């Protein structure tokens, strides 16, 4: 099976940094916005840039470490200031702050269906927040693990702790929580950690019901498919696929082990293709994004190709409709359009620090869509990207099939025991 190999154009050809630190108009009225200006790149005659910065907000209280965007127009930004800042769109004004008095906010996810917000903190705990019917007010509803479980766990480990400094806790992660994923169908929350484990939390019982010894190194990313499959990515250069047992209880078994050519996996996202069909994207530390297509059976994952658009480690990813967005430590954001292959629409430059969070909003507008980015430079930016890639330099070539240094089998199976 031939691999797909293509790369982005040089990002310097379409660099655009907005001098505006101000609210923006609605994305639907972008072309008539007072903030909109046509910029002519000096190196390419009259070709227009294929993206524009609509607005930018600088967070003086710290670096942006995580980002989440909701359908009702709210942006959640976690930082190293022990709080989550919530901005409201399209005005892009600070709406509220969710304070927890804990450490850095390392991950944020939002469930619009259940009106819940989950945030992971550097104290190895998870905070849960509920959103009222209006979608505006937020209420703190609990902490995982809960206080009772932490007390019982401390009592069980008390004799051992007298003779060892090693943390023997079994109810919370022993390392920093790196990522969260939520399965709304069964009301289960997944959390990954640098300790190499994935914990399964039941929201009905508000406790940990399973600890998966997933990888031998830090687990940096995890996503859940519509069919319930759990995908985990780690520094051990592996993407593993887990399936929940159909029997009583909440236990997960390993289905597949996909190796990613000696490159640690840092971020993952799913691209839906309809029904239970989807693509699994894995962003790696070498700047590549590898992707697989899920077969009709849960044990079949077909390697499809890779995207190359970054020069440094990919730190975050997002997907919606046929758009895939990746943010990296090289301070750039790559935007890809899926359809008969993948095409690079833009390489967005405008931050001066590593990108730690990206978001995406795709409406019915055929002209383009909105991309959100949060960086360790403390800025959250809103971008408009033309879906047809204005300017020929904005788009990479269509998929070119051919031989490359990556050699893969069509299907991946578990190694023999």
Q: 3-class DSSP state for residue 248?
A: coil
pLDDT over 80 at 401, yes or no: no
Q: What would the pLDDT profile of 101-111 be if each residue is shown by its tens digit?
A: 777 999 999 99
Query: Which two structure tokens, joined as six digits, stand for 344?
Result: 């690079």
What is residue 246's predicted lDDT score, i.e. its pLDDT?
A: 75
Pairing of strands 355-361, 368-375: antiparallel
- 37-46, 311-320, 341-350: segment of lowest average pLDDT: 37-46
pLDDT computed for residue 394 by the predictor = 34
> Mean pLDDT over residues 359-365, rounded?
86
pLDDT of residue 245: 83
Strands 188-193 and 83-88, sheet pairing: unpaired
**Average pLDDT of span 348-375:** 92
Q: Which domains does the chain have, with CATH numbers?
A: 49-156+169-387 (2.130.10.10)
Q: Considering the chain, what is the average pLDDT of its residues?
A: 78
Most confident of 20-29, 204-213, 240-249, 396-405: 204-213
Tell me how far apart the alpha carbons of residues 147 and 151 are, in angstroms, rounded to a whole number: 6
Q: pTM value?
A: 0.80
Q: Note the maximum CA span of the chain.
A: 74
Lowest mean pLDDT among 77-81, 232-236, 310-314, 386-390: 386-390
Please, is 253 exposed, middle or buried when counting C-beta atoms within 10 Å of its C-beta (0-12, 13-18, 19+)?
Answer: exposed
Pairing of strands 355-361, 3-5: unpaired
Main-chain dihedrals φ then ψ at residue 186, nearest 5 degrees = -115, 10
pLDDT above 70: residue 298: no
Q: In this predicted structure, what is the pLDDT of residue 37?
A: 31
Kindly state the DSSP code that residue 153 receives in the 8-state scheme. Answer: H
Of 259 and 299, the one with more pLDDT? 259
- Whether residue 389 has pLDDT greater than 60: no
pLDDT > 90? residue 119? yes
- pLDDT value, residue 340: 79
Give me the count of residues in the chain: 417
Give pLDDT, residue 77: 94
Return the DSSP state at 363: -
Residue 219 scores a pLDDT above 60: yes
Tens of pLDDT, residue by residue over 32-90, are 333 333 333 323 222 346 899 999 998 766 799 999 999 888 999 998 887 899 999 88
CB count, 10 Å around CB of 26? 14
Percent of the chain with pLDDT over 70: 73
d(CA 118, CA 129): 6
Most confident residue range from 167-176, 252-261, 374-383: 374-383
Q: How many Cα atoms sit within 13 Å of 122 on the Cβ side?
A: 13
Alpha-carbon distance 26 to 176, whole Å? 38
Where is mean pLDDT largest: 71-85, 167-181, 230-244?
Answer: 230-244
The pLDDT value given to residue 238: 94
Q: In sequence order, what E strands does 248-313 have?
A: 252-259, 265-274, 277-284, 288-294, 301-308
Residue 393 Cα to chain centre, angstroms: 27
pLDDT recorded at residue 28? 42
């Amino acid at each position: 099976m031939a691999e797909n190999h293509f790369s982005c154009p040089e990002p310097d050809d379409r660099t655009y940094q907005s001098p505006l630190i101000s609210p923006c108009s609605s994305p639907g009225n972008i072309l008539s916005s007072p903030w909109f200006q046509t910029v002519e790149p000096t190196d390419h005659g009259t070709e227009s840039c294929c993206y524009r910065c609509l607005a930018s907000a600088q967070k003086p209280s710290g670096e942006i470490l995580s980002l989440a965007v909701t359908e009702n127009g709210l942006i959640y930004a976690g930082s190293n200031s022990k709080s989550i800042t919530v901005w409201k769109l399209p005005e892009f004004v600070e709406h509220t702050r969710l304070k927890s008095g804990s450490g850095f906010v390392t991950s944020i996810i939002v469930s619009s269906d259940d009106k819940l917000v989950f945030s992971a903190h550097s104290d190895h705990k998870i905070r849960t927040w509920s959103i009222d019917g209006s979608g505006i007010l937020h209420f703190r509803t609990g902490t995982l693990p809960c206080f009772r479980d932490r007390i019982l766990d401390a009592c069980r480990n008390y004799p051992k702790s007298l003779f060892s400094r090693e943390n023997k806790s079994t109810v919370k992660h022993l390392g920093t929580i790196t990522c969260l994923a939520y399965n709304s169908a069964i009301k289960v929350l997944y959390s990954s950690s640098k300790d190499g484990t994935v914990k399964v939390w039941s929201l009905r019982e508000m406790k940990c019901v399973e600890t998966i010894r997933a990888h031998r190194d830090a687990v940096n990313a995890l996503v859940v498919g519509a069919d319930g499959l759990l995908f985990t990515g780690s520094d051990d250069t592996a993407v593993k696929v887990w399936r929940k047992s159909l029997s009583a209880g909440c236990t997960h078994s390993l289905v597949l082990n996909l190796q990613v050519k000696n490159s640690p996996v840092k971020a993952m996202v799913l691209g839906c293709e309809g029904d239970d069909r989807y693509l699994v994207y894995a962003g790696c530390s070498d700047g590549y994004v590898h992707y697989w297509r899920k077969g009709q059976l849960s044990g079949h994952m077909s390697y499809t190709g890779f995207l190359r658009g970054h020069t440094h480690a990919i730190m975050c990813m997002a997907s919606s409709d046929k758009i895939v967005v990746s943010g990296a430590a090289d301070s750039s954001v790559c935007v890809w359009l899926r359809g008969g292959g993948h095409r690079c629409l833009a390489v967005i430059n405008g931050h001066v620090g590593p990108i730690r969070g990206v978001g995406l909003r795709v409406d019915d507008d055929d002209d383009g869509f909105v991309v959100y980015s949060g960086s360790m430079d403390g800025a959250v930016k809103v971008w408009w990207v033309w879906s047809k890639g204005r300017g020929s330099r904005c788009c990479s070539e269509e998929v070119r099939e051919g031989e490359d240094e990556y050699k893969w089998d069509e299907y991946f199976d578990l190694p023999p025991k």
